[in-house]
Structure 1
Amino acid sequence: MKKIMTLILALSTFSVFAANQKLTVDTSASTLDWKATKVTGAHNGKVKIKSGNLNFNGTDLVGGEFIIDMTSITCEDISKKKANKKFVNHLHSDDFFSTEKFKTAKLVIKSSRLGKGGHFDVEGDLTIKGITKPVMFRANVDNKGKMATATADIKFDRSHYDIKYKSGSFFQDLGDKLIHDEVNLSVKLTAK
C-alpha cells in the first residue's frame, strides 16, 4: 500500500511539472509595433524584443515577461532619410525615452485568466524609464505545446513615465502642437 501511495504521489507531482511550461521567446520571430497620435496626425514604428518568456499551465497563459530594446526604436512613416533620423534621435532623447540611460523597457505578466471570448485578460507591470505602472490588456494565445504565439494590443499613458514633451497633461495652450498621451503597442510573441 505504501509503495502504491508513493507511486501515486510521484505521478501526480510529475503531472504538475509537466503541465507547467516555460517557453522562451524567439526574438527573431517576434515583433513590437508602436503608434502615437497628435492633433495633426500620427507616427508609427518598430522596437525589437530583446528577450522574454511565456509561462503556461497546460494551455493557459499564467505568466511571463519580455524585455524591449529601446535603443532599436525606429520610425516607419517618415520617408525622407534626414527627417527620419532627426525624429528617431528625438525619440532617443530625454524629451521621450532617454535611451542612453534607459536602454530597455520591460513588461511582466502578473496574472492572466481566460476571458469569455477565448482571449486572456492580462494584468501586468510595464516599466519604462525606470518607472513601473500597471497595465491591463487582452491577449490572444495559440498554444501548440512546444510552441506558442501570443498577440496583444497594449495601450499606455506616456505621461505616467515622465514623458512630458508637448503633453496636455503638463502644458496648456499647445494647440495643434499637442501630442496625445496614449501610445499603442501591437505585440506578437512567438515562444518555444
Structure 2
Amino acid sequence: MNTMLMKKLAPFIFGLFSLMVFSQSKTILSSEIRWKAYKTLKTESLSHFGTVNLKEGNLIFKGNDLAGGSFVMDMKTIDAADMNEDPKMKKMLENHLKSDDFFDTNKFPTASFQIKSVKKINSNGYNYQVAGPLTVKGISKNISFPVKVFQSNAVYTLTSAQFTFNRKNYGLKYNIFEDMLISNEVEINVTVKAQ
C-alpha cells in the first residue's frame, strides 16, 4: 500500500480503532417502562396506566460516559395495571390497545427507541439529555428527554425523567367521536439496568 493512501486512511483507521477500544456495549439486565394516558380532562380518575416489556436493548458507554443505546419494546405485552381489580374490563382495554385502533400489534409487534445523541447536563438530578427516533407503528419521530445514569459495581442504571409523546404523530387514533375525548399526550417513565 503506498504512503499517500496510508496517510488518507490513517484518520479513518484510528477513529474506527478508537471506537472499538473505547466504546462498550452493555446488555440490558432488567427494565421498567411505565405509560399513562388521560381522557381530555386530565384527572387521575380519568386516566389509565400500565407497563410494557422490553424485548431487547443495550446502552453504549465511552469510558463511564453514556454515548448511545437502543431499546425494542414488545407491544404485545402492553398492560393496563389500573384495571387489575376488574379482569374483564382489563382484558377489553388491553385488547383495544393492541387492536388496529391503536398499536395494531399483529402488524407492528414492536416499537423502538434509539439514542442517537447524548449531551451532558446538570439539571434536577439528571446528568444527560438524550435524543433520537421513537418508532411506533413504523413511524419515526425524534424525541428528547433527560436521564440520570449512575454506576454501582459493574451495573449501570438509567432512569428517565417523565416525558411525553403525541399519540397522533404515530397514527394512534380511534373513531372521531371517542378520539375527541382522549388526550393526545402519553406519559412515559423508563428505568433500565445494564451490565
Give the TM-score category using the shorter length.
0.7 to 0.9
Equivalences for 1:21-36 in 2 at 5 Å? 21-26=24-29, 29-36=30-37
Is structure 2 residue 135 aligned with structure 1 residue 134? no
* Deviation at residue 39 of structure 1 after TM alignment: 3.1
TM-score, length-scaled by structure 1:
0.82
Residue 25 of structure 1 aligns to a residue whose secondary structure is: strand
Q: Does 1:93 align with 2:99?
A: yes
Q: How many residues align?
A: 172
Q: State the Cα distance separating 1:146 from its structure 2 match.
A: 2.8
Letter in structure 2 aligned against 1:142: F
Counterpart check, 1:121 vs 2:126: no
SS, match of residue 70 in structure 1: strand
1:1-192 alignment runs, 5 A limit:
17-26=20-29, 29-39=30-40, 41-78=46-83, 79-117=85-123, 118-144=126-152, 146-152=154-160, 153-165=162-174, 171=176, 178-192=181-195
Three-state SS of the structure 2 residue aligned to 1:37 is strand
Alignment deviations for residues 42-84 of structure 1 (CA, whole Å, 9 cap, x no partner)? 0001100010000011221110001000000110111211111
Task: Decide whether aligned partners of structure 1 residues 145 and 19 sit closer, same or farther in structure 2, where only a CA change above 3 A counts.
Answer: farther
SS at match of 2:132: strand
Q: Is the 8 A contact 1:61 1:113 kept in 2?
A: no
**Runs of 5+ consecutive residues of structure 1 not aligned to the other structure:** 1-12
- State the Cα deviation string for residues 125-174 of structure 1 (Å, max 9, x = none): 100001110001001101347320101133111000011126xxxx5x76
Instruction: Give me the identity figure in percent.
Output: 40
Unmatched 5+ stretches in structure 2: 1-15
TM-score by length of 2: 0.81
Partner of 1:106, secondary structure, is strand
RMSD of aligned Cα (Å): 2.2
More displaced 10-residue stretch of structure 1: 70-79 or 33-42: 33-42
In 1, Cα distance between the equivalents of 2:27 and 2:135? Answer: 20
Q: 1:16 to 1:94 in 2, by over 3 A?
A: closer
Letter in 2 for 1:46: T
Partners of 1:51 and 1:154 in 2: CA distance: 21
